[in-house]
């Protein structure tokens, strides 16, 4: 597998575009992804009981045909908590996209992100959809889905399947309200592999828990979280089937793209200055290892300690304790940036100057050894800063 330069339209048969319609004052706020033909589709959406209208519509749409050919997405307004009118607006976006592309309405998914409780300015949105270009600038799509994000997030890889090159690309947005179980987080992945909808869904579910579900910025789960994967088969490879070597290779590609996007989201957390990666080793099962890692990286006390460049291992150990998982409280090791700070649940002496220099790094690694088994789990997050409070005090959600 090779990571390459590209964008969401890099796989064969895909195009994308993004424009400014006036939902936001100046920045791009509307875009689409289009495939030349109907694609196999897999999706995961928020576990929040309060779901935005587009998510409810998408579930119905995907169940109708089991194929998707286009995604229309806006930023600035979430179209959540907007009642029947909000659903009408989501359907209207679907209908206008159908007319513009001359494809069946049941082959179009809708995504929205932004302020909750406001109606979309549908006159502007419809006009914007008419202005989107099938041969547009795919890099603009990555910008059109951003809200409080500071950077776009993309990843493109390719792999050879029996002498046939398959390309996979991902784009995401997310900065605040990130605590997915399948955060707001939107992620779209395109691929030209020949794979069925059923097999694609298995691949997505295989990877979601160890990638997107392992990031946390502020502990809030959004009403609009969505991961959509489209694969149109235009690479013309032999169909990828479950329980085969090719399926394993495909899953590895998908995990790489999803993990890269997840880390980019965590790194771009609102007000963040540091990425935090927590790895828990030697647990009896991966689920518990991941749960402990995510709990530690989600601890506000740990986050603020990292922001303050304070090697406060006590906060880490306390977070492990309140997970209520089974472990020997007298046999835990903790390392911060590779420096042992606790061994056998007992603090050990380390060089303060070396540690302080290490904590100035932009990427901070915390390793926890539980001495309970042979599996591990990793989670990603960011520090908690004054700017996070400022951003969310001033930004209406």
| Helix, strand, coil in percent for the chain, rounding step 5 | 35, 30, 35
Annotated binding-site members for substrate: 147, 173, 184, 270, 392, 397
- In three-state secondary structure terms, 356 is helix
In DSSP terms, 109 is beta-bridged to 71
> Which tokens go with 384?
């908690």
Nearest 10 degrees: CA dihedral of 56, 115, 104, 84?
50
Catalytic entry in 82, 97, 152, 184? 184
Contact between 48 and 220 (Cβ < 8 Å): no
Give the integer Cα–Cα distance in Å for 258 and 256. 6
393's CB contacts (< 8 A; 6+ apart) are: none
Binding region: 147, 173, 184, 270, 392, 397
CA distance 306 to 292: 18
Ramachandran sector of residue 138 (left: φ over 0; alpha: ψ -120 to 50; beta: rest): alpha
CA distance linking residue 361 with residue 185, whole number of Å:
26
Q: Is 184 a catalytic residue?
A: yes
Q: Are 377 and 291 in contact (CB under 8 A)?
A: yes
- Residue bearing tokens 């409070």: 389
CA dihedral 177, 179, 182, 184 (to 10 degrees): 10
CA distance 371 to 344: 9
| CA–CA separation, 316 and 311 (whole Å) | 9
Residues present in the chain in total:
397
Question: Which are the catalytic amino acids?
Answer: 184
């Amino acid at each position: 597998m090779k990571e390459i330069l590209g964008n969401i339209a890099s796989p064969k048969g895909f195009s994308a575009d993004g424009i400014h319609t006036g939902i936001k004052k100046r920045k791009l706020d509307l875009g689409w992804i289009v495939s030349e033909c109907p694609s196999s589709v897999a999706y995961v959406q928020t576990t929040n009981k309060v779901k935005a209208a587009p998510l409810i519509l998408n579930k119905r749409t995907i169940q109708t045909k089991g194929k998707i050919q286009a995604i229309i997405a806006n930023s600035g307004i979430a179209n959540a908590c907007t009642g029947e009118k909000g659903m009408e607006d989501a359907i209207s976006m679907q209908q206008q996209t159908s007319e513009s592309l001359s494809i069946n309405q049941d082959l179009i998914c809708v995504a929205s992100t932004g302020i909750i409780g406001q109606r979309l300015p549908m006159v502007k949105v419809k006009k914007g959809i008419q202005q989107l270009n099938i041969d547009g600038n795919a890099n603009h799509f990555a910008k059109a889905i951003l809200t409080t994000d500071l950077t776009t997030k993309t990843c493109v890889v390719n792999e050879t399947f029996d002498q046939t090159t398959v390309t996979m690309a991902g784009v995401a947005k997310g900065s605040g309200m990130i605590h997915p179980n399948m955060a707001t987080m939107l992620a779209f992945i395109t691929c030209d592999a020949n794979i069925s909808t059923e097999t694609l869904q298995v691949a997505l579910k295989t990877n979601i828990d160890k990638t997107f579900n392992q990031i946390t910025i502020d502990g809030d789960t959004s009403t609009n979280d969505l991961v959509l994967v489209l694969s149109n088969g235009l690479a013309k490879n032999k169909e990828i089937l479950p329980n085969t070597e090719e399926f394993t290779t495909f899953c590895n590609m998908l995990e790489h793209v999803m993990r890269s996007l997840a880390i980019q989201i965590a790194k771009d957390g609102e007000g963040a200055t540091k990425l935090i990666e927590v790895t828990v080793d030697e647990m009896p099962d991966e689920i518990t290892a991941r749960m402990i890692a995510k709990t530690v990286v989600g601890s506000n006390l740990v986050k603020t300690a990292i922001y303050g460049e304070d090697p406060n291992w006590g906060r880490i150990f306390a977070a492990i304790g309140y997970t209520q998982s089974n472990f020997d409280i007298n046999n835990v090791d903790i390392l911060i940036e590779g420096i042992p700070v606790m061994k056998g649940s007992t603090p050990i002496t380390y060089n303060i100057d070396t540690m302080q220099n290490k904590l100035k790094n932009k990427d901070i690694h915390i390793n926890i050894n539980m001495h309970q088994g042979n599996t591990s789990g990793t989670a990603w997050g960011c520090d908690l800063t004054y700017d996070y409070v400022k951003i969310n005090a001033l930004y209406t959600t």
